[in-house]
């Protein structure tokens, strides 16, 4: 069962920008895990395989920033310290019940007066949101069975909600292609990334999806460069609408829609445990 949890945080001292990188937030997450299960924390730290969680960059503004027609660009880098007392939020998604179950004690016994450390700064976790909120679209939870059952298997010109898949890439997104990265969100890059994670964690395997029936119909993206002292990451931000076209079996339509809805939890592409590849589906009102 995937969970998308939003942790509301309050720093007690300024957080310098060099401690707001994906690497430091990844370390903070492992500290949270190790506080309830040190063995699991060590295993996640040592693992090089695709991991059952994703993280967002630390956000200091409202959940939705201006940027793109959906207004869903997130802040992924900081040039200035975050001042003490600034309310922040941080999204953690967990892709399997084992990991969520291990962390249950952390959520249930949350002590709002216990400080957690991000570099030299102390942070308090003031609350955790795990269900949809009107102003916080990144909080949610669903079983894999629900994601699949609620995905539409109908696709026709009169029901654009089902035939169009509008994905917003809210933090820089890139895909591995051989030995190098590519920033182009082709149907193969996006949906094969979703398919791989779905098959690994859902228990509802899709042996093959009708990827040849997915066509991009609207593209509004640009590249962003995220650089620190160790590396440089180039990815795209923006929106792409994919349409399902042609004679497609209902079960294949259902699978494609389920994968698109799963994007909220899994992200796409590289470095999703470092805040990159945050993606979700936007539905028209």
* Per-residue 3-state assignment (H helix, E strand, C coil) for 212-271: HHEEEEEEEEEEEEEECCCCEEEEEEEEEEEEECCCCCHHHHHHHHHHHHHHHHHCCCCC
- The residue with tokens 């470092």 is 274
- State how far the Cα of 4 lies from the Cα of 130, in Å rounded to an integer: 6
Query: Using one digit for the tens of pLDDT, what is the confidence trace for 255-272?
Result: 999 999 999 999 999 999
What is the percent of the chain with per-residue pLDDT over 90, rounded to a whole number? 61
| Mean pLDDT, residues 36-59 | 80
Residue 234 pLDDT:
93
DSSP alpha helix (H) spans, the chain:
22-36, 38-46, 97-108, 144-150, 160-163, 187-201, 250-266
Distance CA(144)–CA(205), nearest Å, equals: 11
Question: Distance between CA 260 and CA 280 in Å, rounded?
Answer: 8
Q: pLDDT category, 44, cuts 50, 70, 90?
A: confident
For residue range 70-98, list pLDDT tens digits in order: 447 899 988 899 999 999 999 999 998 87
The predicted pLDDT at position 114 comes to 84
Given pLDDT bands bounded at 50, 70 and 90, which one contains residue 48? low
126-176 confidence digits (pLDDT tens): 988 888 887 889 999 999 999 999 988 875 544 444 578 999 999 999 999
In whole angstroms, give the CA distance from residue 90 to residue 63.
Answer: 10
What is the predicted pLDDT for the residue at 62? Answer: 54
Condensed to tens digits (0 to 9), the pLDDT of residues 59-71 reads 986 544 444 344 4
State residue 155's pLDDT score: 58
Do 25 and 118 touch, CB atoms closer than 8 A? yes
| Contact predicate 171/56, CB 8 Å | yes
Q: Which residue has the higher pLDDT, 47 or 133?
A: 133
What pLDDT score was predicted for residue 71?
46
Length of the chain in residues, anyone? 285
Q: How do residues 25-35 score in pLDDT, each as one tens digit?
A: 999 998 888 88
Nearest-10 crossing angle of helices 22-36, 38-46:
150
Question: What counts of helices (H) and strands (E) characterise the chain?
Answer: 7, 12
Kindly tell me if the per-residue pLDDT of 6 is higher than 80: yes
Mean pLDDT over 204-228 rounds to: 92
Q: In sequence order, what are the beta bridge partners of 242?
A: 165, 216
Pairwise pLDDT comparison (38 vs 61), residue with the higher score: 38
Contact 236, 185 (CB under 8 A): yes
pLDDT score of 113: 78
Domains present along the chain, CATH in parentheses = 3-140 (3.30.70.1890), 144-282 (3.30.70.1900)
- Residue 63's closest CA among 3, 22, 125, 8? 8
**H or E element, residue 285:** none
Tokens encoding 206: 């899709």
The percentage of the chain sitting over the pLDDT mark of 70, rounded to a whole number, equals: 91
Specify the residue for token string 């955790």. Answer: 128
């Amino acid at each position: 069962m995937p969970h998308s949890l939003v942790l509301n945080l309050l720093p007690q001292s300024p957080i310098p920008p060099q401690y707001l990188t994906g690497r430091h937030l990844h370390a903070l997450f492992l500290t949270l895990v190790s506080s309830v299960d040190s063995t699991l924390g060590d295993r996640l730290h040592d693992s090089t395989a695709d991991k059952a969680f994703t993280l967002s960059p630390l956000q200091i503004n409202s959940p939705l920033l201006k940027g793109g027609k959906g207004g869903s660009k997130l802040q992924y880098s900081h040039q200035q310290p975050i001042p003490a007392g600034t309310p922040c939020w941080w999204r953690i998604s967990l892709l399997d019940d084992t990991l969520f179950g291990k962390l249950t004690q952390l959520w249930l016994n949350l002590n709002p007066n216990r400080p957690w450390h991000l570099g030299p700064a102390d942070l308090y976790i003031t609350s955790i949101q795990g269900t949809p909120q009107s102003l916080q679209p990144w909080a949610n939870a669903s079983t894999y069975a629900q994601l699949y059952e609620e995905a539409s298997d109908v696709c026709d010109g009169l029901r654009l909600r089902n035939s169009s898949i509008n994905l917003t890439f809210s933090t820089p997104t890139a895909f591995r292609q051989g030995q190098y990265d590519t920033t182009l969100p082709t149907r193969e890059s996006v949906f094969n990334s979703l398919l791989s994670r779905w098959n690994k964690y859902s228990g509802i395997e899709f042996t093959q999806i009708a990827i040849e029936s997915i066509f991009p119909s609207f593209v509004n993206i640009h590249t962003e460069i995220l650089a620190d002292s160790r590396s440089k990451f180039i990815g795209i931000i923006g929106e792409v609408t994919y349409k399902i076209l042609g004679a497609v079996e209902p079960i294949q339509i259902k699978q494609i829609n389920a994968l698109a809805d799963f994007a909220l939890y899994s992200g796409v592409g590289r470095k999703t445990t470092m805040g990159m590849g945050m993606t979700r589906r936007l539905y028209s009102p």
